[in-house]
A and B are shown apart, each in its own frame.
Chain A
């Protein structure tokens, strides 16, 4: 059974880069049908799809965040990561990682989520 777990700093200063890692257990990131996704939830903006990436490097980002986001997959570590640059208080949210099936269009499983606060 595939499980996902987010990790990373819970506090980031404004203008810095938010970096999170999602560790995948019980499965491989090399399945060509799967995309490795990041989603966030904030009180002000609700839930927001950030983007996803395949192990091959194909990436798809939300246009609203595209200029600041990078998602990458490391199959050797069974991890994928999120980098969000130039953060502001508006980026304070619970960040979730999830697996996406490109052929069936579903998202599952999800990680438990990790709260990231942007504050000086």
Chain B
């Protein structure tokens, strides 16, 4: 069974930079896994941030960026704002099946 692993929780100070990662149990994550990143706040619908590794939606703030880093998909937030406190989760494509990561709870403190 394929497992996608994210950091369970991270804490960052306002204005700081933080990188969330998304690892695959099958090996290195490549662009062929079409990594997607989502943000979800309590009581709200998930919101797409990044697709196909590094592409932003029109509504994605410039401080969010996606990349591949050390065999993992990565989401970097630069100049973190208090409103960025949320759960972030990744999604990877395994040739016909999409698999979600467990999510990272980001605290801005």
Which positions in A face B, CB cutoff 8 Å?
39, 46-49, 60, 62-63, 96, 98, 104-113
Contacts and interface: CB of A to CB of B under 8 A. Distances in A.
B69 to A, nearest CB: 20
Contacts of A108: 47-48, 57
Interface residues of B, number: 22
A60 B77 CA distance: 33
8 contacts: A49-B91, A96-B45, A106-B57, A107-B36, A107-B38, A107-B91, A108-B57, A111-B45
Contacts of A98: 46
Contacts of A46: 100, 102-103
A21 to B, nearest CB: 17
Given A107-B48, A110-B46, A47 B36 contact: no
